Structures are given as C-alpha cells and as structure tokens.
Chain A
Amino acid sequence: MAEKFDVIVVGAGPSGNSAALKLAEAGLSVLQIERGESPGSKNVQGAILYSDALEKLIPDFRDDAPLERHVIEQRMWVLDDDSFVGTHYRSDSFNKEPYNRYTMIRSQFDKWFSERVQKAGALLICETTVSNLLLDGNRVVGIQTDREGGEIYADAVILADGVNSLLAKKAGFHPELEPKNVALAVKEIHFMPQELIEQRFNVKDDEGVVIEMVGKITKGMMGTGFLYTNRESVTIGVGCMLSDFKKQKITPFELLEQMKEHPSIKPLIQGGEMKEYTAHLIPEGGYKAMPDLYGEGWMIVGDAGMFVNAVHREGSNLAMTTGMHAANTLIELNAEGLPFSKANLKRYKAKLDESFVMKDMKKYKNMPDVFHTNPQFFNDYPELISNAARTMLTVDGVDKKTKERQIGKSFRQRRSIFGMVKDTFKLWRAFE
C-alpha cells in the first residue's frame, strides 16, 4: 500500500509554503514536493515583499525573515531615449515600524519560509519533480514523481507549481498559456558596497528605494522596467508581454543591455558586480485569462492560477493569500467531515471572491486588453511627455506661450485631440 497524506502541496514558493504552513498548523498530514535542491532555488522575483499577506500567516516574520531594505521611496519614471520624467514619493511615515514593504532575495526568503513550514509539521521532499497528477476518473488522487516508485496519494492536491502550471495542463484542466497572457522578465543582480548604495539612493541603514519605469526602454512593447535596492546589491530588470517580444522580434537580454546603458540608469548600477542573470514568466493575463481554480480533489494557487495584479506589481502577496484560503478551505471541510469534492471546494472560490484578491483581479480585468490594443501608452506618450518637459525647461529665448503652443501641437500631431480624449477615457475605464 502506497503512502497517503491528507494533502500534497506541489511547490515551495510563496503560495505553496502558505498553504502547507496553514494545513500543518491545523494538524493535517502534509507532504510538500519541491523540484529545486532547496526551496527558492527555482524561484525568481523582483522582489518586493508586501508585509500584510505574510503577517496574516506569520505575525512575527520580522524577527528572523531575511529581508533586505524597507521601502521608503517609490520613483515612477517615464523614459525617453536619453531622459526621464518622473515622480518620486518619499515619506518618513514609511520609516515607522511595522514596515509595509521590503525588498528581498527570493532564494533566501523561500528557504526561511520553508523552515517555518517544516517546523509546523509538514514533510518537505526536495530535488523531486512531479511529472503528473494521478487521476481516478476526473478526481485527483495523488501525484507521480520522477523518483522510483514515485506514486504518492492524498485526499487533495494543491497545485502551487508556478506560472507554467504544467500539471493542470497535462491533466486537461486548462489549455496552454497564450503569449499575450504572460510577460517575460529578465533581470540581473549587481553587488556593490552598502555605503555606495546608501549614497547613490540617498538612504541610510536599511532604507530602500524602488524605481518603476515605463517608456522607450521597452521599445513600444507593453511592459515595464524596474530597479530595486537590496542591502548590498541592486536588482535591475525589464519585462514585456511575450506576444510583443514575438511580434517585434526583440531579444530579451539585448533589451536589458540597452536599458542598462540608458544615461539615467547607467550611473545607478555603475561599479556593481553582476552575480546572476535570471528570466521568468509573469502571468499577466488578468481576470479574463484565469483558469478553473478547483475541481475534484484539487485547487490551484499562486502564479499557476494567474494571480498577479500587473498594474500594481503585486503577485507574491496574492500567492500567499490564495495559498492561505486554499488551506483554510480544506481545514474547514476536514473539520466538518466533508470530502474534498468539487462541490465542496467551491468554498475556496467564495473565499477568494470575498478577499482583495478577486476584487482586484476583477477591477483590472480590462487593463490587459487596453494596453495590448493601444501601444501609444508605451511609445508615443513617453516621448511626448519628455519633449514637453525639455521644451519648457530649456531657456533659449523663446517665450513660454509659444513653447506651450509647440507642445500642444506636438501632442495633437501624434495623437489628435480626439485620440487623446479617447485614450484618457480608455485609461479611466480600465482603472475604474
């Protein structure tokens, strides 16, 4: 007789760890399978940690979690070829504990999180790839791993296997991802002395800065760039929709190289030592692209379920929250002596609908379409805005009224009044 658990969790990222932690704390027998040599060794993120979601799971996480810097300043840059127009928001209120968000390094963070999970009683097996789900009819009854005699059974399987979501796809629960619903992000980590980072970004101690960027760095593709300060390193990257990469025949690492050469960015990473280059897909298809989230004996959490708020650059917090709700659903059903059937797992969806997760997913459901069909937001406007700022700030004997007229004309020529009104309306509708 093969071994059987109450629940198997596939994957030890934020969603899988959150689910496994909750289940183990509630006394269910939990097996967690991770394909990396240790949790985190296959995982990639920017990375920003939002405290709220983690706090609900591990209230004392700040005591020993490996955090880099708490964010006190957010910069939003719109870049032209050789300039940027930006806003910086810095507030000392972000310096009051408990801090709201941090930069982090995922391989370290995931390992720490997993230790908490194991301490709670879950059994973790690493270096093991789950190759298939075991099905009895349409009911998931366990997993097939790549180890010898690798069939393991459970009453429920939580799929926390990441953006590619191979297991649910192989089982026929959802089709292959479409290029328009995923972004490809590439990034590098550059190490430099702590003092240098503090001088360069005007911070002290463990204060940090994040820069989010749009504009010509993505060559008209729907996407963003970012730069985050860690304790002794800076993470820099750029991500764009895969459909745009394909259409425009752009090579991602060349895009990153060119972004690093931008005169506003280059000085920020100068002198750093590049220690790792990573690539990762981000499921940015939004609400309309979400797969079925549960069925007979299974639930999907985190990136595998398309749980990313692309507009607000949120993902790991949604992952943790979905993992927590999936676990709570099973804990409740278990306590009530009810089977983990599709009809009962509907509660998972109800919990998500009640939480910020689905409310936000729904709120931005039209955003991907708006940006896919209106490349001017990534192309024309950044250039126009930059030119406008340059025109107004260049003192050259031309009077300001004439300059204003020139700027107005440049906008009308590129987008027309009607076009601009429509664009405003589209954005307003998408954000509404």
Chain B
Amino acid sequence: MSAAIKVEEKLFQNRYKVDAGRPHISIIDEDKCRNNCASQACITCCPAGCWTMEGNGQVTVISDGCLECGTCRIICDDHRNVAWEYPRGGYGILFKFG
C-alpha cells in the first residue's frame, strides 16, 4: 500500500491542461534544499506528491499534477526557496466539481 502509487491514482481522476515546458513552480536555490533544509516539508506535505527526493539527495518538483493550493510555498517559511506563480491562463488543474 504505497502512498506514492495512491496519490497518482487519485490525480488520475482529475482533469489537467499541462503547460508543457513551462512549470509554474520551481526551486530558487537547489543547494539550499540539499544542504540547509532539515524538514523538507514540501516532500511530505504536498497533497499532490509533486515534490520528491532524488537518489543523489536533490529535491525536485514536477508540477504537472499540481492542485495549485500553495502549500509548498507557504510551508517553506524557513528558507523561502520556492518560486510559485499561477499557471498561465487556462492551464493547470481544471476542476470538474471543485
């Protein structure tokens, strides 16, 4: 019962229009995530599982499944290391029911 698989199953029910090649969330300074951040709360708390730890210890974000809640930006209050914009108009999550 892997949590990673479960969130993908959930997100599969959602409708998205992905803005290919133009992610709306990025890490400002990757070294900071790797060396200065003990909590890495973004990985634990993102409700869409967009944040992961690579094998080499680097934190990465893939925002294709993003629900545009803002959690990762606000939870990074020790470092303010998340560049976060809304997707371009019309792109991103398109809630069927909301």
Contact = CB atoms under 8 A, between A and B. Distances in A.
B98 A110 contact: yes
Interface string A268-283: 0000001111111100
Contact of A107 (B47, B86, B97): B97
Given A245-B41, A278-B67, A281-B70, A41 B97 contact: no
Interface residues of B, number: 39
Contacts of A35: 86-87, 89-90
A128 interface: yes
Contacts of B75: 179, 242, 245-246
Given A246-B75, A276-B13, A279-B47, A105 B97 contact: yes
Given A44-B95, A278-B95, A37 B71 contact: no
Q: Which of B48, B67, B86, B95 lies at the interface centre, i.e. has the most chain A CB atoms within 10 A of its CB?
A: B95
A60 to B, nearest CB: 24
A176 interface: yes
B54 interface: no
Interface string B3-30: 1001100110110010000000000000
B45 interface: yes
Contacts, number: 144
B89 A277 contact: no
Contact of B86 (A129, A147, A249, A280): A129
Nearest to B88: A146
A42 interface: yes
B77 A276 contact: no
Nearest to B87: A129
Contacts of B39: 246, 249
Contacts of A37: 17, 90, 94
17 contacts: A35-B89, A42-B92, A42-B94, A107-B95, A128-B90, A166-B84, A179-B74, A188-B10, A242-B71, A242-B75, A245-B75, A249-B39, A250-B44, A252-B45, A274-B13, A275-B96, A276-B13
Contacts of A164: 70, 73
Given A129-B86, A188-B10, A245 B45 contact: yes
Interface string A388-425: 00000000000000000000000000000000000000
Interface string A211-254: 00000000000000000000001000000001001100111111
Interface in B33-54: 39, 41, 44-45, 47-49
A82 interface: no
B80 interface: yes
Contact of A106 (B10, B45, B68, B98): B98
B71 to A, nearest CB: 5
B93 interface: yes
B74 A178 contact: yes
A45 interface: yes
B82 to A, nearest CB: 10
A22 B69 CA distance: 29
Contacts of A177: 70, 74
B71 A253 contact: no
B85 interface: yes
A255 to B, nearest CB: 10
A41 B75 CA distance: 25
Contacts of A36: 90, 94
A374 interface: no
A126 B74 contact: no
A85 B53 CA distance: 41
A388 B68 CA distance: 42
A196 to B, nearest CB: 18
A95 interface: no
